[in-house]
Amino acid sequence: MTSVTPAPPPTGEQREPVAHDSVPWGAVWGQEDAIAQLRAASEDPSQLAHAWLITGPAGSGRSTLAYAFAAALIAEPGDEAAMRQVLAGTHPDLAALRTEGVIISIKDARALVERSYFSPSLGRYRVIVMEDADRMVERTSNVLLKALEEPPERTVWILCAPSDADLLPTIRSRVRTLRLREPAVDDVARLIVQRTGVDPVIAEQSARLAQRHIGMAQRLATDEAARARREETLRSVLAVRGVGDAVEAAARIVQLATDDAKSLTAERDEAERESLLRTLGIAPGGAVPPAVRGQLSALEDDQKRRATRSLRDGIDRVLTDLESMYRDTLMFQFGRDADLINRELSDDIAALASAWTPERTLIVLDQIALTRTHLEGNAAPLLALESMLVTVASGRTP
């Protein structure tokens, strides 16, 4: 669902990541330098840019930090009630755009721009947060340009994206970029233990396999089925020897990604449906009157778009996992096998490294990157994966 709601990595000696107890920074973990810069900007108008871009790898806490900054900007210092209202997304001076579709629509971007011209009603600033800013096509990005170039005096934009390279140069030239640091595996593992109480061995394995993505690491640590699906996916690709294997493995990957997406969305979809029916005064199991079927249909359309994105995100995660496996293969091939991501598959990866040349491994890695590009261009997932796995089987691009 896309909704508009009212409301440089550190240098030198690396410090231990910590979680902050103070509001609004309490949920931000391991980003002391970024917090210091944003706190100073919220307290000193001379350090405050009118538009910010927070970048960092998936799971680094971009959105969490964006909302903490928004709370610090909107609320008066020490007004924790107002800060918590911003963090909950209910403050009238916060406008947020988050998408659960594949791209941000131009309609929603225009609605956000319109809100950016409203004066603050209660707080010090009006803050516009755009999550997933990398999901804008060029036409949508152009909608933002004038708003970013000439915002009202008391409006601040905060965009979030994996990298500044994911946005158009015209957007990048109008924002101040803040790059988040990537935590170490051991740091993420300790956090997962603190949050969930799981065995430290499982936490370390999950942090390593998730490549320090905090959210994914927590899911792997607490969901044995998710860990099993990941391993099954990698083993199915390791077993590819010919075109027939490639076709079967591609179908299996899509099925596993679909199952994974359903496990994430099914419970939420049903809860949303029940909540809507309850709001409309319809008892559980009761007939839906024709007059409200349009609202139910709109919810189902939003859920379908979310399912599509969830599936594509799942397949993108599979590609990331495969990249990690072939990265480990290269490590073996160059005699640097002390720092593997997929240690649990080390014997199979060592055998693959012996059977292949480094050039073939690089061809496969290039094909994985190309497959990701094709999927971003809305290619059919099954066909894109089949093409990629034919390269795995043959060592040659189709």
Cα-atom radius of gyration of the chain, to the nearest Å?
A: 23
Q: What is the pLDDT of residue 289?
A: 81
Across 242-263, average pLDDT: 89
pLDDT-based confidence at 16, cuts 50/70/90? Answer: very low
| For the chain, percent of residues with pLDDT exceeding 70 | 93
Domain locations along the chain = 3-179, 199-238, 243-394
Reported residue count of the chain is 398
Average of per-residue pLDDT across 363-389:
92
Q: Which residues of 51-87 are buried (b: 16+ CB within 10 A; e: fewer)?
A: bbbbbbbbbbbbbbbbbbbbbbbbbeeeeeebbebbb
Local confidence band at 101 (pLDDT 50, 70, 90 cut-offs): low
- pLDDT-derived band of residue 12, with 50, 70 and 90 as boundaries? very low
Q: Would you say residue 379 has pLDDT above 80?
A: yes
Closest CA to 78 of 43, 51, 105: 43
State whether CATH 3.40.50.300 applies to domain 3-179. Answer: yes
How confident is the prediction for the chain on average, in pLDDT? 86
pLDDT tops 80 at residue 67: yes
pLDDT exceeds cutoff 70 at 6: no
Q: Which residues pair with 54 in a beta bridge?
A: 160, 178
Contact present, 189 and 158 (Cβ < 8 Å): no
Tens of pLDDT, residue by residue over 166-181, are 888 999 999 999 999 8
**pLDDT-derived band of residue 13, with 50, 70 and 90 as boundaries?**
very low
* pLDDT above 90 (res 59): no
Please say whether the beta carbons of 14 and 111 come within 8 A: no
* Average pLDDT score over residue span 308-323: 88
Lowest mean pLDDT among 48-57, 135-144, 235-244: 135-144
Which pLDDT band holds residue 7 (cuts at 50, 70, 90)?
very low
The CA-to-CA distance between both ends of the chain, in Å, stands at 37
Q: Given a cut of 90, is residue 22 above it in pLDDT?
A: no
Residue 5 has pLDDT above 50, yes or no: no
Of all residues in the chain, the percent with pLDDT exceeding 90 is: 53
Q: Supply the pLDDT for residue 11.
A: 34
> What is the pLDDT, as a whole number, of residue 92?
95
- What amino acid occupies position 369? A
Neighbours of 225 (CB within 10 A): 10
Which tops the pLDDT comparison, 85 or 137?
Answer: 85
Residue 263: what pLDDT?
Answer: 74
Mean pLDDT value of segment 345-370: 95
- Highest-scoring range by mean pLDDT, 24-33, 281-290, 377-386: 377-386
Edge-to-edge strands of the sheet including 176-179?
Answer: 3-5, 94-98, 126-130, 155-161, 51-55, 176-179
Confidence class for position 14, pLDDT limits 50, 70, 90: very low
